[in-house]
């Protein structure tokens, strides 16, 4: 598949960008390039994951560059963005061109697990760095772990333990899954099933929905109803989740006592649904703009993301991951960071993390960024105090419990 270069690199943006090098002497141009970190934000710029990542992730990365202070050290930073269209072939083509022809040092974000797994493999092959914020599959720090990949924000294990565990504890003993038919959906169904079975529950069945392109979930919801399961587990995300929940409300599925488990629901999804429809949903997130003073300060500095939305946890993760990466670059030097993505990842693992979006944390040897996760319930319209006041905190999952134990993932980087 051929891609026009203009569709891959939409322009240099960020706190500091390279000037045009054509008029510089050759040695000066080489020196400028050698002292430049290039960050590629690769995500869904126009499809069903645009609101949770898209231009908002680039906006967050730009703020991380500004707040890192790295340009005051004389280090140049260039940020570019591209749309992978939720397709592994497109994402792979962009990643290879960025690494081989455009000098990109680190790729950030990459929602859609199938794309993320492909980019992770290419990144290891090229010895660059991949900081994933948008994809969910826990395989990125398990069977498909890489010394060049760090999984920053959330994963299917965290979601399964949070939302899935809460639904079982509340009496949801029998489940039926509506699953997006690609790597993310499969991993989320798998990890949630493990928690359901461990708690003595049962999975009665499931259906796989085509991805991308499904908009009518009525037949899948009716199939779930006929199973007589207590809980319909929605192992999907973005527009798929929004459409599933809206259509379930239209069919009045929850009126008969059946519960919906939105296993991956973002604050932007709740905004799209409205509180009248979303009220009562239990969701698991690792960031919420109104969680505490630090998250509110972060959100105020960031401002509204494109589309006049509050930041999602994916966008917050892009900020947090790039901020930590640039701290590592400042610590180890530009030349060393550009020479080996694996060594840059190792330096990030050796340094504690700290930022206003996630607070304090660490990066494990398997590449898993560790921080608390939060179980929220969506407020009723009467409980909401105003715009974007959507969540009430139910419980906090401590950092050391929120993610799969490092010894259980099967990552080859972990010594037994």
What is the torsional sign of CA 331, 334, 336, 342?
positive
pLDDT band at residue 32 under the 50/70/90 scheme: low
Q: How many CB atoms lie within 10 A of CB 276?
A: 9
Which CATH architecture describes the domain 5-154+293-370? 3-Layer(aba) Sandwich (3.40)
Q: What confidence score (pLDDT) does residue 211 get?
A: 83
Q: What confidence score (pLDDT) does residue 316 get?
A: 98
pLDDT band at residue 157 under the 50/70/90 scheme: very high
pTM here? 0.90
The whole-angstrom distance between residue 354's C-alpha and the CA centroid of its chain comes to 18
Distance CA 315, CA 302 (A): 10
What does the mean pLDDT of the chain come to?
90
Token pair for 5:
């270069």
Q: What confidence score (pLDDT) does residue 22 get?
A: 39
Q: Is the pLDDT of residue 287 over 50?
A: yes
Q: Is the pLDDT of residue 141 over 60?
A: yes
Q: What confidence score (pLDDT) does residue 212 get?
A: 75
Token pair for 121:
């493999």
Q: Is 394 helix (H, G, I), strand (E, B) or coil?
A: strand
Q: Quick one: what percent of the chain has pLDDT higher than 70?
A: 92
**Domain 157-285+372-402: homologous superfamily in CATH:** Response regulator (3.40.50.2300)
Q: Is the pLDDT of residue 31 over 80?
A: no
Token pair for 270:
């709740």
Q: Is the pLDDT of residue 355 over 80?
A: yes
Cis omega (within 30 of 0) on the bond before 212? Answer: yes
Q: What confidence score (pLDDT) does residue 378 get?
A: 93
What single-letter DSSP state applies at residue 162?
I
Instruction: Tell me if 322 sits within 8 A of 64, measured CB to CB.
Output: yes
Mean pLDDT value of segment 338-366: 98
- Maximum alpha-carbon separation in the chain: 74
Using alpha carbons, select from 348, 391, 400 the residue that is nearest to residue 372. Answer: 400
Cα separation values, 172 from 167, 194, 200, 228, 280, Å:
5, 14, 10, 12, 15
Angle at 266 between CA 131 and CA 211, to 5 degrees: 75
Using alpha carbons, select from 322, 319, 289 the residue that is nearest to residue 59. Answer: 319
Q: Lowest-confidence range among 207-221, 264-278, 362-376?
A: 207-221
Distance CA 77, CA 159 (A): 34
Q: Is the pLDDT of residue 2 over 80?
A: no
Instruction: Tell me if 108 sits within 8 A of 61, measured CB to CB.
Output: yes
Q: Is the pLDDT of residue 336 over 70?
A: yes
Helices (H), 138-252: 156-159, 165-169, 183-198, 218-226, 238-250
Task: Classify residue 86 as left (phi > 0), alpha (psi -120 to 50) or beta.
Answer: left
Q: Lowest-confidence range among 102-106, 251-255, 317-321?
A: 251-255
Using alpha carbons, select from 363, 347, 411, 369 the residue that is nearest to residue 141. Answer: 411
Residues in the chain: 416
Q: Quick one: what percent of the chain has pLDDT higher than 90?
A: 81
Q: What confidence score (pLDDT) does residue 18 get?
A: 32
Q: Which residue has the higher pLDDT, 215 or 357?
A: 357
For 340-351, write each residue's pLDDT tens digit: 999 999 999 999
Mean pLDDT value of segment 12-33: 45
Angle at 55 between CA 51 and CA 60, to 5 degrees: 100
Instruction: Tell me if 287 sits within 8 A of 357, measured CB to CB.
Output: yes
Instruction: Tell me if 175 sits within 8 A of 227, measured CB to CB.
Output: no
Domain-by-domain residue ranges, the chain? 5-154+293-370, 157-285+372-402
For 240-284, write each residue's pLDDT tens digit: 999 999 999 888 887 778 889 899 999 999 999 999 999 989 899
Q: What confidence score (pLDDT) does residue 254 get?
A: 79
Give the strand pairing for 231-235 and 359-363: unpaired
Mean pLDDT value of segment 23-44: 76
Mean pLDDT value of segment 156-177: 92
Q: Is the pLDDT of residue 6 over 60?
A: no
Q: What confidence score (pLDDT) does residue 416 get?
A: 61
Q: What confidence score (pLDDT) does residue 238 get?
A: 85
DSSP assignments along 265-333, one per residue: --HHHHHHH-HHHHTT-EEEES--TTSSHHHHHHHHHH-PBTTTBPPPHHHHHHHHHHHHHHHHHHHH-
For 69-98, write each residue's pLDDT tens digit: 999 999 999 999 999 999 999 999 999 999
Using alpha carbons, select from 106, 114, 166 the residue that is nearest to residue 136. Answer: 114
Mean pLDDT value of segment 8-34: 45
Instruction: Tell me if 318 sits within 8 A of 61, measured CB to CB.
Output: yes
């Amino acid at each position: 598949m051929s891609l026009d270069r203009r569709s891959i690199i939409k322009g240099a943006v960020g706190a500091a960008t390279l000037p045009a090098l054509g008029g510089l002497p050759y040695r000066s141009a080489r020196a400028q390039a050698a002292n430049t970190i290039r960050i590629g934000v690769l995500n869904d710029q126009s499809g069903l994951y645009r609101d949770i990542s898209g231009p908002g992730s680039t906006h967050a990365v730009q703020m991380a560059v500004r707040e890192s202070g790295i340009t005051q050290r004389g280090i140049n930073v260039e940020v570019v963005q591209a749309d992978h269209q939720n397709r592994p072939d497109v994402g792979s083509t962009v990643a290879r061109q960025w690494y081989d022809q455009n000098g990109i040092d680190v790729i950030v974000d990459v929602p859609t697990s199938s794309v993320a797994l492909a980019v992770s493999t290419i990144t290891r092959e090229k010895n660059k760095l991949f900081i994933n914020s948008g994809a969910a599959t826990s395989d990125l720090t398990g069977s498909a772990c890489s010394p060049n990949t760090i999984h920053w924000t959330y994963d299917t294990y965290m979601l399964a333990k949070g939302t899935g565990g809460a639904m079982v504890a509340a009496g949801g003993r029998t489940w039926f899954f509506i699953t997006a038919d690609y790597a993310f959906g499969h991993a989320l169904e798998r990890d949630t099933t493990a928690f359901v079975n461990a708690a003595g529950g049962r999975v009665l069945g499931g259906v796989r929905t085509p991805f991308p392109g499904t908009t009518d979930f009525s037949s899948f919801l009716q199939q779930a109803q006929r199973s007589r399961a207590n809980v319909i587990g929605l192992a999907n995300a973005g527009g798929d989740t929004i459409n599933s929940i809206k259509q379930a409300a239209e069919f009045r599925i929850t009126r008969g006592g059946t519960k919906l488990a939105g296993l991956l629901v973002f604050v932007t999804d709740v905004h799209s649904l409205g509180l009248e429809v979303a009220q009562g949903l239990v969701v698991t997130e690792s960031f919420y703009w109104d969680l505490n003073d630090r998250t509110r300060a972060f959100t105020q500095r960031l401002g509204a993301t494109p589309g006049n939305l509050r930041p999602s946890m994916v966008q917050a993760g892009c900020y947090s991951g790039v901020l930590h990466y640039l701290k590592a670059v400042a610590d180890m030097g530009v030349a060393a960071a550009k020479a080996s993505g694996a060594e840059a990842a190792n330096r990030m693992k050796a340094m504690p993390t700290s930022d206003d979006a996630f607070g304090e944390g660490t990066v494990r040897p398997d590449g898993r960024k560790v921080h608390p996760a939060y179980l929220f319930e969506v407020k009723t319209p009467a409980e909401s105090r105003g715009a974007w006041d959507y969540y009430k905190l139910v419980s906090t999952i401590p950092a050391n419990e929120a993610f799969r134990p490092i010894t259980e993932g099967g990552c080859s980087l972990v010594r037994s």
